[in-house]
Structure 1
Amino acid sequence: MSLPHDTADPMTLLRDPSILIVGAGPVGLCAGIALLKDGHRVAIVDSGAHGAGWASGGMLAPLYEMAADPTCPDPYLEFALKSAELWHVLARTCAVDLQSPSLFLARTQEEVAALLSLQRRANRLGLDLTSVCVPAGLTAQAAFQAPTERSLAPRAALKSLMNQFQSLGGELLVGQAYAIGPHRLGLLDGRTLEAETIVLAHGFSATSFGQSIPALRALSPVKGQMARVAHPELASPIVRAGRIYMLSRGGGLVIGATSDPLAAPVLSVDVDPVLALLAEAKALLPSLATAPTVEAWAGVRPDTPDHLPLVGASGVDGIYLATGTYRNGWLLAPAIGAYLSELISGKTLDQALMNLFAPERFSS
């Protein structure tokens, strides 16, 4: 819903703070932290609903998610690798625990060939991907260890990032974004907020503003589901094979993740996809046959037709986008935050990245 620029509202906040971010997920929080460090006044408005960042596995995996795809543009891969490095500093600052290394398993000869190809690309990038023995208890033809592929616990990390954001002077406003216009954001409770700059970083929910911001119509939902099982932790904290990952976390295993672009974008758990996920995981780790499932949940990833994010000016005065991160919201969050802060501050940015991320590529 659009918000007329001349809307009168006695509850309007007049350009203080200077930047208003919608969404307290990983991208919104990292953007807020970066902008605060660059001297801006920042507030985040968030509805409190669990988003894709909360529901995800917290994977920081540029090799497995991007380098393994030969169509991934080099500037995008370099951006992802830079973001992975930024996590080292951010994790220390915010007391976020990063798990590593990752173990990549190949279950078929086709997957062996794919991992050997990935190993060659990793070596060209100066990254370590080493062939190792398949650990006891796992069923696979080959295994490779990647010390630079990491993960984090999303629910704890969101709290840590919020603590850092507020300790730097950021303000959290609880409310649901409902209407938007140049420099203005309307909330469902009737409040209207004003700021010099508004950043929409609330994932697929940003599509509610598609009527006002055409680029947001390019977003599509990809539902993902995960489960937690009571099982002894594995020797490697991260095990990946095909779409499956198993994370040793909280004294058990987190297993993810389904990916269904045809499912309705709702957070209810669908039994059949979760059962199929667990059956695939059990084939990889047979001891899961007797492991009880203790939790299952769902999230909705924001995807775009080219699987590249929407980061930049929206085409509406004073409004920027930071969404469309698909499977890599946690990985990309620090680099997107730094990129947005430089963009909003008027600094010169890499033109290749600007072209890749520009929301205007979908504005028509």
Structure 2
Amino acid sequence: MTLLRDPSILIVGGGPVGLCTGIALLKDGHQVALVDSGAHGAGWASGGMLAPLYEMAADPTCPEPYVEFALKSAEHWQELARTCAFDLQAPSLFLARTEEEAVALLSLRSRANGLGLDLTSVCVPAELTAQAAFQAPSERSLDPRAALNSLLTQFQLLGGELLTGQAEAIGSHQLGLVDGRTFEAETIILANGFGASSFGQSVPALKALSPVKGQMVRVAHPELASPIVRACRIYVLSRGGGLVIGATSDPLAAPVLSVDVDPVLALLAEAKELLPSVATALTIEAWAGLRPDTPDHLPLVGASGVDGIYLATGTYRNGWLLAPAIGTYLSELISGKTLDQALMNLLAPERFSS
């Protein structure tokens, strides 16, 4: 048995949620080690969207405490980006291609105003095909690959310990790796996305996780005037001298990271309707990721029901957005601080333990 520094917190998963949680715990005076396999997860594969308006407030059924949680997390990103020295892209341009989409965006503007956020009507850029456009200064994105490197550097600068390995078995206060190493820690946090589902026999709440496959494409194309363009399910990001186009969403696809031709072609066809010049753009890269989802599309954050094990997964489409708030929430929870009960009820992993 390998003993970590005592008292110790061991985090499984080096994606945005794991790293932001580690950073928050370190800032609060905890000693933290992080186990990561080195494989690319959903955080690496995503578009890095920080979009509480478009992803949450646009849904009238989204619980209010969850919207507020997301908005606070979006605010945290501004400070975290400055500390870790990476850029946030803004503003976002929301496009309506049909009358129905225009009505939905007008409704979202009213919701945004009620939340103290700006969503203003603007002219549709000539290069884009749409009936109406709204600009959202507070909706941002980041480059996931660059941000992951910066967050890891910050985690280590704060004294966090990085352990490379694949987690294989878990029990109360204990974690086993594929290579035979075992670790004992006062607190273990599973923040490894859909990968945490492999521990479902030991942690029943994890049986609620399901994979939603998403695929994205990068094309060679001049960057757009607006760095983020969104229209219904599709987004186009000006990044790295080209465009990143995302994202498919298929809960019925096999949970593998292969790129499937038909969904990618459908994504490109939709992008061409929005931006006709994509028709002649050279495809540079295509990739896939598995989003960790739950039956109610809300995360699993908090005590797992198994002594010493906490969960930080099930973030679905919003892992990057929610990562700082999840980190702060877990640090406060582990430290015994009083948290909002309504939010705790929404996020509690034990809602699926049975």
**TM norm structure 1:** 0.97
Q: 1:305 aligns with which of 290, 295, 300?
A: 295
Equivalent residue for 2:26? Answer: 36
**Partner Cα separation in structure 2 for residue 336 and residue 259 of structure 1:** 24
Equivalent residue for 1:236? Answer: 226
**Partner Cα separation in structure 2 for residue 160 and residue 16 of structure 1:** 27
Equivalent residue for 2:328? Answer: 338
Equivalent residue for 1:267? Answer: 257
**Partner Cα separation in structure 1 for residue 151 and residue 250 of structure 2:** 29
**Partner Cα separation in structure 1 for residue 170 and residue 116 of structure 2:** 45
Instruction: Assess if the C-alpha contact under 8 Å between 1:16 and 1:194 holds in 2.
Output: no
Q: 1:86 aligns with which of 73, 76, 88?
A: 76
Asked if residue 123 in structure 1 is aligned to residue 127 in structure 2, the reply is no
Asked if residue 362 in structure 1 is aligned to residue 343 in structure 2, the reply is no
The one-letter code sitting in structure 2 at the alignment partner of 1:142 is: A
Shift of 1:41: 0.4
Shift of 1:83: 0.3
Shift of 1:13: 1.8
The one-letter code sitting in structure 2 at the alignment partner of 1:212 is: S
**Partner Cα separation in structure 2 for residue 277 and residue 197 of structure 1:** 42
Equivalent residue for 2:217? Answer: 227
Instruction: Assess if the C-alpha contact under 8 Å between 2:22 and 2:155 holds in 1.
Output: yes
**Partner Cα separation in structure 2 for residue 236 and residue 35 of structure 1:** 36
Asked if residue 286 in structure 1 is aligned to residue 251 in structure 2, the reply is no
**Partner Cα separation in structure 2 for residue 50 and residue 193 of structure 1:** 23
Instruction: Assess if the C-alpha contact under 8 Å between 1:15 and 1:196 holds in 2.
Output: no
| Cα deviation 1:253-296 (Å, max 9, x = unaligned) | 00000000000111100010000000000000001110010000
Shift of 1:307: 0.4
Equivalent residue for 2:94? Answer: 104
Instruction: Assess if the C-alpha contact under 8 Å between 1:17 and 1:43 holds in 2.
Output: no
The one-letter code sitting in structure 2 at the alignment partner of 1:179 is: A
Equivalent residue for 1:133? Answer: 123
Shift of 1:16: 3.8
Asked if residue 317 in structure 1 is aligned to residue 324 in structure 2, the reply is no
**Partner Cα separation in structure 2 for residue 79 and residue 275 of structure 1:** 35
Residue 86 to residue 212, structure 1, CA distance change in 2 (3 Å): same
Shift of 1:177: 0.3
Q: Secondary structure at the match of 2:214?
A: strand
**Partner Cα separation in structure 2 for residue 147 and residue 61 of structure 1:** 11
Alignment of 1:127-206 (within 5 A): 127-206=117-196
| Cα deviation 1:116-139 (Å, max 9, x = unaligned) | 000000011110000000001100
Shift of 1:96: 1.8
**Partner Cα separation in structure 1 for residue 115 and residue 25 of structure 2:** 30
Q: Secondary structure at the match of 2:3?
A: coil
**Partner Cα separation in structure 2 for residue 280 and residue 155 of structure 1:** 25
Asked if residue 60 in structure 1 is aligned to residue 63 in structure 2, the reply is no
Number of equivalences: 354
**Partner Cα separation in structure 2 for residue 209 and residue 312 of structure 1:** 16
Equivalent residue for 1:350? Answer: 340
**Partner Cα separation in structure 2 for residue 200 and residue 16 of structure 1:** 19
Unpaired segments of 5 or more residues in structure 1? 1-8
| Cα deviation 1:193-227 (Å, max 9, x = unaligned) | 11100000000000000001110000010000000
**Partner Cα separation in structure 2 for residue 204 and residue 295 of structure 1:** 24
| Cα deviation 1:160-208 (Å, max 9, x = unaligned) | 0000000000010000000001100000000001110000000000000
Instruction: Assess if the C-alpha contact under 8 Å between 1:17 and 1:42 holds in 2.
Output: no
The one-letter code sitting in structure 1 at the alignment partner of 2:273 is: A
The one-letter code sitting in structure 2 at the alignment partner of 1:160 is: S
Shift of 1:15: 5.2
Q: Which runs of structure 1 show a deviation greater than 6 angstroms over 4 or more consecutive aligned residues?
A: none
The one-letter code sitting in structure 2 at the alignment partner of 1:362 is: F
**Partner Cα separation in structure 1 for residue 31 and residue 5 of structure 2:** 10
The one-letter code sitting in structure 2 at the alignment partner of 1:279 is: A
| Cα deviation 1:74-121 (Å, max 9, x = unaligned) | 000000000000011101000120000000000000000000000000
Q: Secondary structure at the match of 1:225?
A: strand
Q: Percent identity?
A: 87
**Partner Cα separation in structure 2 for residue 27 and residue 338 of structure 1:** 11
**Partner Cα separation in structure 2 for residue 218 and residue 197 of structure 1:** 22
Instruction: Assess if the C-alpha contact under 8 Å between 2:247 and 2:267 holds in 1.
Output: yes
Instruction: Assess if the C-alpha contact under 8 Å between 2:5 and 2:31 holds in 1.
Output: no
